[in-house]
Amino acid sequence: MTLDLIQSTLALLHEVGRHASIAEQYDALKNSKIALHFILGRGEAEQFEEYLGRFNTAPLTPSLSFPTKEEAEDWLRLHPAPPHGAVIGVEDTRYHVAYSRELAHRKLLRLPSEQEWEQMEAAGEEEEEPEEEPQPPPPRHGMRFSLFHLFETTCFYLYEMEQRMSSAEETAALKNAKIAFHFVMDMGEEHGFEDYLENFKSDGPQRPLHSFATREDADNWLERQPEPPPPAVVSIGSDLFSVGYNRRRRLRLLIRIPKPQELDAGAP
């Protein structure tokens, strides 16, 4: 049932491709599909469906809680690889974990309380006319990967297409696609998703490190790799898989890389 949700969303996003007219809109659809394949390949379809059901209706549940801010800061400072995007709690306050391994930067970003969200929403409703959303700036040369920036850009171009649709099912598929990025960020998997995205660059996935006849053979090989295993690609029959690692569940992963035709949204 949960598998059907992601598969039906992927199929609907393919249909939405008829509303795309510029390269950036095709890219937004492609990146949305990649995010859904990433979730599916990590075995988190059920968690994603639950996340969809409570999105914007239930408070974020901290993955860890600490009695004081000092203890939370100590945990962040001593952790070898903090889960970027994860939510932690300190008494009644929630924080997002911000971590960049390249910049050696780590910080706790305070999240507004429910009362503060309500005040901000009320202030927004008082505005007579909403301001036109500015087009996100293109990434600068040499700019480090940011899942939030990718999410922001993708949402902008999905919104453009949404204005030209009348299908409730396709509109819901676009909503699911946007929430998929929220889910990946809240799972603290920005770096895992970054590694997965490397397989979809113009030159395609890297040459398979190993080839296996069956999934069982590949799983046995993966179990012998260090934790976390290094980013790599392996083949099982005619399919390619990205080697990953789920830090929260401490699981090695083989995430299937969809073929180009599966990501094609009708782009010329």
pLDDT at 261: 87
Beta 93-100 vs 105-110: how paired, if at all? antiparallel
Same structural domain for residues 169 and 245? yes
Best-predicted range by mean pLDDT (13-17, 78-82, 144-148): 13-17
What confidence score (pLDDT) does residue 29 get?
Answer: 95
Residues 51 and 71 placed together within one structural domain of the fold? no
Q: Say what the pTM is.
A: 0.71
**Beta strand ranges found along 38-132 (DSSP E):** 64-66, 87-90, 93-100, 105-110
Residue 194 in any domain: the answer is yes
Check whether residue 47 and residue 147 sit in a common domain: yes
Q: What is the pLDDT of residue 132?
A: 53
146 pLDDT band, cuts 50/70/90, is confident
pLDDT band at 138 (very low <50, low <70, confident <90, very high): low
In a domain? residue 81: yes
| Domain match, 258 and 158 both | yes
Whether residues 206 and 89 fall in one domain: no
Residues 80 and 198 in one domain: no
Q: What is the pLDDT of residue 119?
A: 62
121 located within any domain: no
Domain annotation covers residue 192: yes
Q: In this structure, is residue 236 part of a structural domain?
A: yes
Task: Assess whether 85 and 198 both reside in one domain.
Answer: no
- Beta-strand (E) ranges in the chain? 64-66, 87-90, 93-100, 105-110, 210-212, 232-236, 239-246, 251-257
- Same domain for 48 and 94, yes or no, is no
Whether 137 maps to a domain, the answer reads no
Is residue 138 in a domain? no
> Is 186 within the bounds of a domain?
yes
Q: Which amino acid is at 9?
A: T
Residues 94 and 185 occupy one common structural domain: no
Domain that holds residue 78: 64-110
One domain for residues 68 and 43: no
Of 146, 62, 181, 48, nearest to 110 by C-alpha is 62
User: What helix, strand, coil percent values describe the chain, rounded to 5?
Assistant: 50, 15, 35
> Are 102 and 195 part of one and the same domain?
no
Residues 152 and 236 in one domain: yes
Q: What pLDDT digit, counting tens, does each position of 172-213 carry?
A: 999 999 989 988 887 878 888 989 999 998 777 788 999 999
Domain count across the chain: 2
